[in-house]
Every structure is written in structure tokens, then in C-alpha cells.
């Protein structure tokens, strides 16, 4: 038994780059302001000699690039991964050019080489971040070997010791690797969580819509029952007065079709009306039986059985309010157990005055030990996507969202979940526990 995704909610693809062009341009404007202020202050405030014209030319190129991008795309444009990478690569090269003109790695502003890498790690894919990190490493290496003198107050200038420059070079390379790896990992996990929660909301929304449709269908069946009965009664009365002829045949047809309509409406009445007090609450065992029944037929086809059990208690069985999150979450876990069971799935309910517990166990191979501590995380799975699987026509079987969705929805009802293997050779088990008062009051 391992993590699977429900076939309903499809994976939501993110845009190639979640960051707007306006953000990149704004960051570049900040860099331009800092560069221009620093160059002007060093040249005219401190009076140090430097290649002012070349520095202003490089800064002007950034101004020109911002203007071209804003005119060409507009501030609200979301650039492709390639365009965003090229912009960050340019920023690295432009900063490297300024550092070459102002002392190389001896310039305290050399630490700013980390800025483009951190932006890439937080927004772009790992491949682009690796390439940008290699580019920054190459720039730092070249600056350690070739650069103009650091602007200084004496004509002889100031040249930092070689060992110091080597230390700065090593520090920049290490910082590039650390910042890129750490930032990219954190941003990737955050994006995964956002995507998984979005899919969870879609799954819950779909289930709520289906529940609402059930209510509408049952309400329509109730309202249409009276006029159909009236039509049937009138048709039968007229039929008694016309025992033969074409009119009698037409009346027989009407009566037959009315009976057919009433049979269809009878089926619709069996659907749970969402707003009916009669069906909005049920005992815990009834809800479990209802969820298990939905999976009995598929299980029987594969030669598996679902066994229901409950521990005797002196406390009254809890009567709880139906909740889409509860039904969807429990149904998801039961379906998962049926898929991985060898022959039997056991669902046990236990309650007392303090807690309510449902345990769902299958006799399959169990949870993989290496994934056991991470179950419930989004996109955690050991199976590959299979678009030929008739049970999952959208090929969503390998997304690893099933247990995450179930865990998230059940936790919203106040539950805590525990995943473990009941035996050394497998038998995956999921225990869902609620405080008694929370389940009865809030679910």
C-alpha cells in the first residue's frame, strides 16, 4: 500500500515562470541605482581615480535593457524560463564587468554575484540555476586572475594579498553552491505544497458539486412525483371509458411511459438530498458501511473482500454529520487499501467517551519502510503514471497526491492520522483518530 492520486483532479501545470517581468525589471532598477550611486560616490565623493566612462556604459546598458523589455513585453508579462535565465545571466555578466573595472574580487561588492543565483534558485528550475551558478563561478574565477586595480587614494593603489583573494574566491564559490541548493530546495517544496493544496481544493469542490447535484436530483424527483401521479390517474380514468380503438392504444402508451418516469424518479429519490435532515446525520458504522459498499464491487472482481468490525463499548455509538471532507478522505484511504490488498481489507471502528478511531488495514505488502516516515507529503509515490490504466483514464496514478489529499481533508475535520505496518511482513494500516467532542460537533 502506497501513495496514489485520485483520478478526478488533474495535475495543474504551473506557468513556465511564476515571476512577472516587472519584478525582474524592478530588481534591476535597484541594482542600477546602487551601482550608479557607488560609482559616482567613489569618483567624486572620495576622489578616487577609476574607469568612470566604462562603468557608466555598463550601467547604461542595463537601463537600455529595462526600457526595451518594458516596451516589448509590458510589466505584467510572465517571461519564459529561457528569457528569465538570459536576463539573470546578463545581470551576472554586467556585474562581473563592473567588478573587473573596479578591483575584481578585492572589491567588497563582489558578494553581489550571489544575487542573480538566489533569484534563479527561488523561481527557475534546477537546470537553469546550475547553469547560472557555473557562469557566476567562471566570472569569479576570471576576476581572481584578471582585473583593473581597486580604486584607491594613493597613486600606487591597493592590492589585497593573494591569500585573501583566494579566500574570497573560495567563499563566493561555496556561497553560490549553498545559496542555490538551499533556496531552490525550499522554493521547490513551497511550490509543491501550493500545487498539492490546489488539487486538494479542486477535489473537495468536485465532491461538493456532486453532493449538491444529488440533492437537486432528489428534490426534482419529489416535486415531479405529484404531477405524474395526476397524469397517470387521469389517463386511467379516460382509459376506462375507451376500451378499444386508437385512443385506447395511446392512453396505454401514456400510462406505460408515466410508469417508466415514476420508476426513474424512484431511483433519483434514493440519492442523498444534501439539505435533508434525515440524511445529513448517520451513525459512524452506517457511514463506514456506506463508504465500504462503494468499493465492494471492484474488490469482488479482484477476489478481495472488505470486512467491517467494531469494538463493543458501553458508550452510545456517535452520530455524526455528513461532511464531504470526511467522506472523501475516508473513501480515498479505503480505495487505496483495496488496491494494494492481497485478499482482504479490514475496517474497524472504536469509540468511547473521549475519542473515536477508525483503523483501515489491508493484507498487502505494506508501506515501503523508506517512505513510511514521509507518508502524507505531496507528490510522494512509488508508482509511475500509467495512461493505459482504465481505472485512471487521466494517467494521474503516479502523482502521489492520494494520501496527501486524504490526510489534508481528514485533518480539517480534527483528525490525526498514523501510518504503520501491522506486521513485519506488511499489512499496511492507517489509524484515524478524533476527539469525541470535535467529531460530533464539527464534522
Query: Could you tell me the pLDDT band of residue 245, with boundaries at 50, 70 and 90?
Result: confident
Over residues 136-165, the pLDDT tens digits come to 999 999 998 888 888 877 666 667 787 888
Please give the backbone phi and psi of residue 282, each rounded to the nearest 5 degrees, phi first.
-160, 160
Q: Which position has the higher pLDDT, 57 or 371?
A: 57
Q: Which position has the higher pLDDT, 99 or 226?
A: 99
Over residues 35-55, the pLDDT tens digits come to 999 999 988 888 888 889 999
Average pLDDT over residues 18-22: 78
Q: Measure Cα distances from 410 to 15, 158, 333, 442 in Å.
A: 30, 66, 10, 12
**Nearest-5° Cα angle at 421, 415 to 423:** 140
Average pLDDT over the chain, rounded to whole? 78
User: Of 60-74, 195-209, 385-399, which has the strongest mean pLDDT?
Assistant: 60-74
Over residues 255-304, the pLDDT tens digits come to 888 888 877 776 665 555 444 444 567 888 888 888 888 888 878 878 88
Report d(CA 240, CA 384) in Å as an integer.
67
Query: Could you tell me the pLDDT band of residue 401, with boundaries at 50, 70 and 90?
Result: low
User: Of 193-197, 382-386, 425-429, which has the strongest mean pLDDT?
Assistant: 425-429
Q: Which of 23-27, 99-103, 274-278, 355-359 has the lowest mean pLDDT?
A: 274-278
CB-CB neighbours of 277 under 10 Å = 7
Average pLDDT over residues 223-247: 77
Q: Considering the entire predicted model, what is its pTM?
A: 0.52
Q: What phi-psi label fits residue 57: left (phi over 0), alpha (psi between -120 and 50 degrees) or beta? A: alpha
Report d(CA 83, CA 201) in Å as an integer.
32
Structure-block grid coordinates of residue 378:
505531496
Over residues 119-133, the pLDDT tens digits come to 888 888 888 888 999
Query: Could you tell me the pLDDT band of residue 201, with boundaries at 50, 70 and 90?
Result: low
Q: Which position has the higher pLDDT, 442 or 329?
A: 329
Report d(CA 405, CA 417) in Å as an integer.
12
Amino acid at each position: 500500500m502506497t501513495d496514489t492520486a485520485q483520478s478526478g483532479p488533474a495535475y495543474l501545470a504551473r506557468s513556465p515562470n511564476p515571476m512577472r517581468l516587472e519584478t525582474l525589471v524592478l530588481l534591476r532598477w535597484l541594482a542600477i541605482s546602487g551601482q550608479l550611486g557607488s560609482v559616482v560616490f567613489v569618483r567624486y565623493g572620495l576622489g578616487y581615480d577609476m574607469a568612470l566612462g566604462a562603468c557608466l556604459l555598463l550601467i547604461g546598458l542595463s537601463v537600455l535593457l529595462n526600457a526595451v523589455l518594458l516596451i516589448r513585453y509590458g510589466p505584467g508579462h510572465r517571461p519564459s524560463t529561457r528569457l528569465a535565465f538570459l536576463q539573470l545571466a546578463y545581470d551576472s555578466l554586467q556585474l562581473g564587468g563592473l567588478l573587473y573595472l573596479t578591483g575584481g574580487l578585492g572589491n567588497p561588492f563582489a558578494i553581489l554575484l550571489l544575487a542573480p543565483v538566489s533569484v534563479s534558485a527561488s523561481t527557475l528550475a534546477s537546470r537553469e540555476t546550475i547553469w547560472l551558478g557555473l557562469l557566476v563561478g567562471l566570472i569569479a574565477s576570471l576576476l581572481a586572475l584578471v582585473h583593473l586595480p581597486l580604486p584607491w587614494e594613493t597613486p600606487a593603489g591597493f592590492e589585497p594579498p593573494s591569500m585573501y583573494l583566494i579566500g574570497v574566491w573560495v567563499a563566493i564559490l561555496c556561497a553560490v553552491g549553498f545559496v542555490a541548493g538551499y533556496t531552490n530546495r525550499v522554493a521547490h517544496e513551497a511550490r509543491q505544497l501550493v500545487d498539492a493544496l490546489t488539487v486538494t481544493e479542486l477535489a473537495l469542490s468536485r465532491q461538493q458539486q456532486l453532493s449538491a447535484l444529488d440533492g437537486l436530483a432528489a428534490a426534482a424527483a419529489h416535486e415531479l412525483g405529484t404531477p405524474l401521479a395526476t397524469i397517470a390517474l387521469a389517463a386511467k380514468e379516460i382509459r376506462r371509458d375507451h376500451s378499444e380503438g386508437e385512443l385506447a392504444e395511446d392512453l396505454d402508451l401514456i400510462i406505460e411511459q408515466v410508469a417508466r418516469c415514476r420508476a426513474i424518479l424512484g431511483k433519483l429519490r434514493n440519492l442523498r438530498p444534501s439539505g435533508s435532515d434525515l440524511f445529513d446525520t448517520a451513525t459512524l458504522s452506517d457511514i463506514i458501511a456506506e463508504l465500504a459498499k462503494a468499493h465492494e464491487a471492484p474488490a469482488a472482481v479482484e477476489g478481495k473482500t472488505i470486512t467491517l468490525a467494531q469494538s463493543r463499548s458501553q458508550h452510545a455509538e456517535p452520530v455524526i454529520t455528513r461532511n464531504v471532507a470526511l467522506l472523501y478522505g475516508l473513501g480515498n484511504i479505503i480505495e487505496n487499501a483495496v488496491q494494494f490488498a492481497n485478499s482482504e481489507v479490514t475496517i474497524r471502528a472504536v469509540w468511547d467517551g473521549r475519542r473515536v478511531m477508525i483503523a483501515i488495514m489491508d493484507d498487502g505488502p505494506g508501506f515501503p519502510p523508506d517512505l513510511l516516515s514521509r507518508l502524507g507529503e505531496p507528490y510522494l509515490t512509488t508508482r509511475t503514471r500509467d495512461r493505459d490504466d482504465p481505472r485512471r483514464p487521466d494517467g494521474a496514478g503516479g502523482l502521489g497526491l492520494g494520501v496527501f489529499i486524504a490526510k489534508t481533508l481528514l485533518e480539517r475535520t480534527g483528525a490525526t492520522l498514523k501510518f504503520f505496518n501491522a506486521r513485519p511482513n506488511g499489512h499496511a494500516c492507517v489509524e484515524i483518530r478524533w476527539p469525541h467532542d470535535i467529531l460530533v460537533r464539527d464534522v
